[in-house]
Chain A
Amino acid sequence: MADEKFRVLAEINRRSKEKPVLVGGGAVEFYSGGHFVTGDMDLCARTAALAEVLRDMGFRKEGMYFIRGKLFIHVLGPGFKGRSDEVAIGKGLSIRVISLEDLIIDRLNSCKWWKHAVDCEQALYLLNTYAEQLDYGYLEERADQDEVRDTLEELKPGRRDRTKKGTKK
Chain B
Amino acid sequence: MDRITTIQVNSSTRDRLYKLKFRKTYDEYLNFLMDMSEKLEREGGKRRVSPDKVLAMSEAMRGWVARNVKWKNGRMAAVDLDGR
Residues of A at the B interface (CB closer than 8 Å) are 2-3, 6-7, 30, 32-35, 38-40, 62-65, 67, 70, 72, 85, 87-90, 99-100, 111, 115, 117, 120-121, 124-125, 128-130, 133, 135, 165-166
Contact = CB atoms under 8 A, between A and B. Distances in A.
Give the bracket for the number of chain B residues in contact with chain A.
Answer: 35 or more
Given A34-B84, A65-B13, A115-B47, 13 more contacts: A2-B84, A35-B57, A39-B18, A39-B21, A40-B17, A40-B21, A62-B10, A85-B77, A90-B80, A115-B45, A120-B47, A125-B57, A129-B62
B58 A128 contact: yes
B7 interface: yes
7 contacts: A6-B81, A62-B9, A70-B20, A85-B75, A90-B79, A120-B49, A129-B65
B49 A124 contact: yes
Interface of B: 4-5, 7-10, 13, 17-18, 20-22, 40, 45, 47-51, 54-55, 57-59, 61-62, 64-65, 71, 74-82, 84
